[in-house]
């Protein structure tokens, strides 16, 4: 009986010694990795289409791709940085992730901006527009050089544009004398047609439109819905000749470089091509929702006749040559850039 208890004790001691040895070799159990929190600054409110179908799904996709190791905290409605300050705020580290509309940064990204200011590309779909702009970013080093101070995560774009007004716009003559909120190439086309284009950030449009300071606004469908234009305008004229705006999603470079390689890879798996399409499909959904809302409110969607479309394209051609020549004087491959836009637009259309 004593011998049996002794053997049991010796066996227990041996097991303890073996476990102790294994713990020494393996080291202490690793502490759970601390969640990385990234501040994402956007100009849209939580109910806006771009927020609901773009920013929020992308942030959630990042969290899922990183298996919860990264949490993206969205700061809506310019609460962390204003629309025109978001880029520099991200460079300075006030913001970890930023999103900007290129038309708000006139002249700062000249070749990239050409996508939004050279009229007449005829792109009618946000998915095609986004595929084209992201392809251009990958193809042209001159575009990548314009964003050397940040880590670009993706780009996307919108099409088509439309004029929201209190009266019908069917012909070139209809815009004469109208004060219309516009930007880029569309502003130049409207001016050529006899309108008075006015640049105005989206947040300033509602009251100015309501009070009659401006007579109409040019925006994408998402913009008309997000900034309350559908509460004021009754008529919406679609203008494929107007260039659509394009947008950039980016991150503070130092913050990006400090992320582990596997986290970077996970973030890019839902950014790049995937992120561009996510935002584009979100814009497409939002467009359908806004168009339905306009129709329910008794609004009217106006499509130009082929003859009127050709007249607007006629305004575009001399502007194309002028803008391209000005950019090429700066040493930028604007002609090759625009030709590639037209080539891809035709390819996707076909």
Alpha-helical segments (H) within 141-270 = 141-146, 184-192, 205-211, 221-226, 253-258, 261-269
* Span(s) in the chain for CATH 3.40.190.10: 161-243+299-349
Q: Which residue has the higher pLDDT, 2 or 188?
A: 188
- Across 37-41, 225-229, 230-234, 334-338, least confident range: 225-229
Q: What is the pLDDT of residues 152-182, one digit of tens each?
A: 999 999 888 899 999 999 999 999 999 999 8
In Å, what is the CA distance from 341 to each residue of 63, 134, 167?
34, 11, 33
Structure tokens, 133: 């702009």
272-296 and 261-269 helices, crossing angle to 10°? 40
> Which regions of the chain carry the CATH code 3.40.190.170?
36-159+245-289
pLDDT tens digit string along 107-135? 899 999 988 777 767 787 889 999 999 99
Place of tokens 């806006």: 48
pTM of the model: 0.80
Q: What local confidence, expressed as pLDDT, does residue 16 receive?
A: 42
Query: How is domain 161-243+299-349 classified at the architecture level of CATH?
Result: 3-Layer(aba) Sandwich (3.40)
CB-count exposure of residue 296 (10 Å: 0-12, 13-18, 19+): exposed
Token representation of residue 110: 């000249």
* Distance in Å from the first CA to the final CA of the chain: 92
- Angle formed by the axes of helices 334-349 and 110-117, to 10°? 40
pLDDT tens per residue across span 69-115: 999 999 999 999 998 999 999 999 999 999 999 988 988 999 999 88
Residue 235 has pLDDT above 90, yes or no: yes
Q: Average pLDDT over the chain, rounded to whole? A: 87
Q: How far is CA 128 from CA 158, 160, 202, 256, 344, in A?
A: 9, 11, 24, 29, 9
The pLDDT score that the predictor gives to residue 160 is 84
Domain range 36-159+245-289, CATH architecture: 3-Layer(aba) Sandwich (3.40)
**Of 350, 71, 86, residue with least CA distance to 201:** 86
């Amino acid at each position: 009986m004593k011998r049996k208890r002794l053997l049991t004790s010796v066996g227990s001691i041996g097991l303890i010694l073996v476990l102790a040895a294994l713990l020494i070799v393996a080291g202490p159990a690793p502490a759970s990795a601390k969640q990385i929190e990234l501040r994402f600054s956007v100009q849209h409110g939580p109910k806006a289409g771009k927020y609901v179908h773009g920013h929020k799904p992308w942030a959630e996709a990042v969290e899922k791709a990183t298996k919860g190791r990264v949490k993206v905290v969205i700061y809506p409605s310019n609460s962390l940085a204003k629309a025109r300050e978001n880029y520099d705020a991200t460079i300075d580290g006030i913001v970890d992730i930023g999103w900007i509309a290129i038309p708000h940064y006139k002249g700062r990204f000249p070749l990239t901006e050409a996508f939004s200011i050279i009229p007449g590309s005829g792109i009618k779909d946000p998915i095609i527009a986004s595929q084209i702009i992201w392809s251009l970013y990958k193809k042209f080093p001159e575009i990548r050089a314009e964003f050397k101070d940040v880590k670009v995560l993706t780009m996307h774009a919108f099409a088509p544009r439309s004029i929201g007004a209190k009266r019908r716009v069917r012909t070139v003559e209809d815009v004469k004398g109208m004060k219309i909120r516009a930007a880029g190439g569309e502003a130049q086309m409207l001016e050529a047609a006899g309108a008075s284009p006015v640049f105005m950030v989206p947040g300033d449009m509602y009251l100015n439109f309501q009070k009659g300071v401006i007579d109409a606004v040019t925006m994408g469908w998402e913009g008309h819905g997000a900034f309350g234009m559908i509460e004021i305008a009754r008529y919406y004229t679609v203008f494929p000749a107007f260039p659509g705006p394009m947008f950039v999603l980016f991150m503070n470079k130092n913050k990006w470089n400090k992320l582990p390689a596997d986290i970077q890879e996970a973030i890019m798996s839902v950014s790049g091509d995937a992120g561009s399409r996510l935002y584009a499909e979100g814009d497409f959904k939002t467009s359908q929702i806004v168009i339905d809302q306009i129709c329910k409110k008794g609004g009217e969607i106006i499509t130009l006749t082929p003859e009127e479309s050709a007249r607007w394209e006629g305004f575009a051609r001399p502007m194309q040559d002028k803008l391209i020549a000005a950019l090429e004087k700066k040493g930028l491959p604007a002609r090759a850039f625009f030709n590639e836009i037209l080539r891809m637009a035709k390819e996707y259309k076909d």
